[in-house]
Amino acid sequence: MESQSSLEFKKLKFSYKSPSIDKKPILEIDTFQVMKGEKVFLYGPSGCGKSTLLNLVAGVLKPTEGSIRVLGHDFDLLSSSKKDQIRGEKIGYIFQSFNLIPYLSVKENILLPLWMNKKKDTSSDNLDGILKSLNIEELQDSEVVNLSIGQQQRVAAARALVGEPQLVIADEPTSSLDKKNTLEFMELLLKKWEEKRFTLLFVSHDETLADFFEKKVSLEELNVRSGKEQ
């Protein structure tokens, strides 16, 4: 039977192995589950382990103990190439720093993950819809260096969504935006969620955004150790 969860942590512990760092776990999560199609707001102050948790979900770090299942796959048991395949085909990332390539146009930045993943259809049908829904249709031939901060974040969101991922991870995506642009970005992102019903894990220290979500999770409460990130 196919799993109905997109993310599942069981008896998770993580500690860094460096001899210069305290070996006590900085993350210890007994159980945490995000179901398919849910939008979840995961919040906590700087240093509570958010970045470590996202690196575990992405497969960049491996649990010291326990397991993480991502879209039905036990990530820490997969080869690097298999992880790359799943990340490229099924997961979209919206980064805090946008990670746009300045010498490429808006359209080229958005299509970049599709070009890198040869199994994806690079037709313009989905691109046109995303450009329109995120209000950047007229900017598609512009260089990203000429865009405002708010426009750049919409391009970053479009890049994450163009491949129609099953899971979208948003890492502090509004931290560089003012109040007006934050509100516009949230409304546009959640409109796309309503249309596509992908799983959305939205991570932020800004608790004022919690009202956009039905499911809210405090990492400090979830983390038994609640230790500071190193």
* Arithmetic mean of pLDDT, 136-142: 94
Q: Distance between CA atoms of 24 and 61, rounded to whole angstroms?
A: 16
- Of 22 and 94, the structure prediction assigns the larger pLDDT to 94
Domain ranges of the chain: 32-50+84-222
* Arithmetic mean of pLDDT, 57-61: 89
Average pLDDT of the chain is 88
Q: Check whether 180 has a pLDDT greater than 50.
A: yes
Q: What is the pLDDT of residue 229?
A: 44
Q: Check whether 230 has a pLDDT greater than 50.
A: no
Q: What is the pLDDT of residue 228?
A: 44
**pLDDT band for position 26 (cuts 50, 70, 90):** confident
Count of CA atoms in the C-beta half-sphere (13 A) of 23: 4
Q: What is the per-residue pLDDT across 186-224, written as a single tens digit (0 to 9) for each?
A: 999 999 999 999 999 999 999 999 999 999 999 999 997
**pLDDT band for position 20 (cuts 50, 70, 90):** low
Q: What is the pLDDT of residue 225?
A: 63
β-pairing, 65-70 with 167-171? unpaired
Q: What is the pLDDT of residue 118?
A: 63
- Token digits of residue 22: 């305290």
- Token digits of residue 56: 């575990």
**Global pTM?**
0.88
State which of 70-79, 90-99, 203-212 shows the largest mean pLDDT. Answer: 203-212
Give the closest residue to 83 by CA, choosing from 96, 69, 66: 69
Q: Can you say how many angstroms the Cα of residue 51 is from the centroid of all Cα atoms in its chain?
A: 11
Give the closest residue to 45 by CA, choosing from 166, 181, 230, 226: 226
| CATH number for domain 32-50+84-222, candidates 3.40.50.300, 3.60.15.10, 3.40.228.10, 3.50.50.60 | 3.40.50.300
